[in-house]
Amino acid sequence: MKLLTGKAWCLLLVLIILGQTTVLYGVAPEGCACAPETEISLGAVGEDIAELQRFLQAEKLYHQAISGVFDQYTTEAVKAFQRRNRLAITGILDFPTWQALGQSAATTVMANPPPGDLRIIVDTRYLSLLVLVDQEIFATFPVAIGKRETPTPVGNWKVINKGHWSGGFGTRWIGLSVPFGTYGIHGTNKPWSIGRLESQGCVRMYNRDVEQLYRWVKVGTPVHIIGDPFMGRRRLVKGEKGADVMYLQKRLKQLGFYDQGIDGIFGYGTEQAVKAFQKENRLSVTGQVGWREYTAMGLISEE
């Protein structure tokens, strides 16, 4: 059996984009899994504090070692940031301060896109979002995508709703027609997260970038998320949801083990199909998909 590499999956998805316009529709609920920012003050500890210190260090406001502890030095640096941005000087990382952090970085695109067929491509391999007009690249933005355990859903979607949101969504929300959960493109008040695998599956942009994109897109705008749907190599078990489950279901259907709908939800039918595949291929019959199942189905290469 010929195995598909990550590069082959990317090529397949690009071909789908160029030759297929069918997409899945759905009504998105009002919230995704991304957590809102919380108020942080003296004594707090964690990776977010370390990232804040690095940011303030780059702004020449914090001059100590990166400790990950919100100490007195960090408090003074936050006060200096608040003073610079004409905020109430509290030394606490409160919501107005988070908002100011979120507006501190942007990609400069001076013009609006010309008339034409506008669509979005999110490349999960290169952590970038491309705006295409009549198949020509008009603008490129850096993004953050989902963590390996909460991957961004690869596939062809459409914008189904838009909103001026706040908290974990930065300043704008662009909802996508993913059928197995609530996913979207939104801003972030953590500019240091851009260019990383950081989210719960949504696509993050700098706030000022997503504000531009928000003006350009409309409900119905195509959004193609490309890349390896199995990049996370996560173990798939009953109850999981995602594009990797969707492609697993497609593969099981191709192999003749699955005859139900392709919905990206690992339910009873998918579990039974996996068990049947395992039994026929002399694998441990667990109903779960791990490394052996991925390679035996030809979903990933033997790396």
pLDDT at position 48: 85
Nearest to 266 by CA among 292, 298, 236: 236
All residue ranges of the chain with pLDDT < 70 are: 1-31, 36, 165-169, 302-303
In a domain, 7, yes or no: no
Structural domain for 138, as ranges: 20-35+107-226
Are 85 and 116 contained in the same domain? Answer: no
Q: Which of 244, 218, 235 is nearest to 151 (CA)?
A: 244
Residue from 10, 32, 34, 186 carrying the catalytic annotation: 186
Asked whether residue 281 falls in the same domain as residue 260, the answer is yes
Domain co-membership, 119 together with 183: yes
User: Does the annotation mark 186 as catalytic?
Assistant: yes
With CA atoms as reference, report the closest residue to 130 among 196, 179, 203. Answer: 203
Q: Is residue 128 domain-shared with residue 217, that is, in the same domain?
A: yes
Same-domain pairing of 26 and 52 = no
Same domain, 26 and 138: yes
The domain tally of the chain equals: 3
Could you read off the pLDDT of 175-227 as tens digits, one per residue?
999 999 999 999 998 899 999 999 999 999 999 999 999 999 999 999 999 99
The answer to whether residue 302 is domain-embedded is: no
Q: What residues form DSSP beta bridges with 176? A: 159
Does 70 lie in the same domain as 139? no
| pLDDT at 105 (0 to 100) | 83
Answer yes or no: do 112 and 26 share one domain: yes
Quick check: is 63 catalytic? no
Catalytic-role residue among 10, 32, 202, 224: 202
Instruction: Please check whether residues 274 and 201 belong to one and the same domain.
Output: no
pLDDT of residue 260: 94
Going by DSSP bridges, is the β-strand pair 173-176/184-188 parallel, antiparallel, or unpaired? antiparallel
| 122, 264: one domain | no
Question: For 10, which DSSP code?
Answer: H
- Phi first, then psi: give them for residue 73, nearest 5 degrees: -65, -40
